Structure 1
Amino acid sequence: MTGPDTPAIRTVLHPVSDLAKAKAVYAALLGVPPQTDSPYYVGFEAGGQHIGLVPGGGPQGMTSPVAYWHVPDLEAKLTALTAAGATVKEAAHEVGGGRRVATVLDPDGNVLGLLQDR
């Protein structure tokens, strides 16, 4: 059973080398224009998902797509995950509009993104 406090993947960020070319491909794939279109980030809303394009991996230095789990309390989830054996890769920080993000590594080094909207 899911509810508003159940973590769910609703955001996936993709590192891209050429933002303009990637924007065209993702617009064709999703069938919608980007809702956010800037030199440092392009974001699409489609099918209840947010798909983001980050040139050069952004400040996080992403090298592969990262799925972001939307959680109601970022700090509590970070505490629970590190207690369970995850390692913080990117500490919690604000990315604009009251949105906070963080990333952790699972025991095998997979990146898990966490996102909290305020």
Structure 2
Amino acid sequence: MTSTRGILTVLHPVSDLGKAKTVYAALLGLEPQTDSPYYVGFDAEGQHIGLVPDGGPQGMTSPVAYWHVADLDAKLAEVTAAGAIVHEAPHEVGAGRRVATVVDLDGNVLGLLQDS
């Protein structure tokens, strides 16, 4: 079994990126480190909080917590063997970072994230 580094990234779908950015900046007490029309990201005390307008291309409808793993393919094989179903196949999102999502037995979406 491969281990995880824990939940270090949480993405939130938002309907108004500008307004959400203001709220999260006030909540976290800092300005975003990534600020684009398709994604706003805050790095706060070792955790990354991302805002995704309209749920992004993956159609997020609720926040998704991403478990950081050393080997995405191995962890994906383990969780699907245990009964999870692939929701979003592994793909690169930039700078060598790969992500995938699965749905657990109760319908919860779980994210997996591997940095190169």
Q: TM-score range by the shorter chain?
A: over 0.9
| Superposition TM-score, scaled by structure 1 size | 0.95
Superposition misfits of 4+ residues, deviation over 2 angstroms = none
User: Structure 1 residue 7: deviation in Å?
Assistant: 3.2
For 2:11, which of 5, 8, 13 is the aligned residue? 13
What SS does the corresponding residue of 1:62 show, helix, strand or coil?
Answer: coil
For 2:70, which of 69, 72, 75 is the aligned residue? 72
What SS does the corresponding residue of 1:45 show, helix, strand or coil?
Answer: strand
Kindly indicate whether the alpha-carbon contact (under 8 Å) linking 2:4 and 2:67 is maintained by their aligned counterparts in 1: no
User: Structure 1 residue 47: deviation in Å?
Assistant: 1.4
What SS does the corresponding residue of 2:86 show, helix, strand or coil?
Answer: strand
| Superposition TM-score, scaled by structure 2 size | 0.96
Gaps of 5+ in 2: none
Q: Deviations over 1:15-66 (max 9, x none)?
A: 0000000000000000010000000000000011000000000011000000
* Counterparts of residues 29-68 of structure 1 (less than 5 Å): 29-68=27-66
| % identity of equivalent residues | 80
In 2, Cα distance between the equivalents of 1:60 and 1:73? 22
> What RMSD over aligned residues (CA atoms) do the two structures have, in Å?
0.7
Kindly indicate whether the alpha-carbon contact (under 8 Å) linking 2:6 and 2:68 is maintained by their aligned counterparts in 1: yes
What SS does the corresponding residue of 1:64 show, helix, strand or coil?
Answer: coil
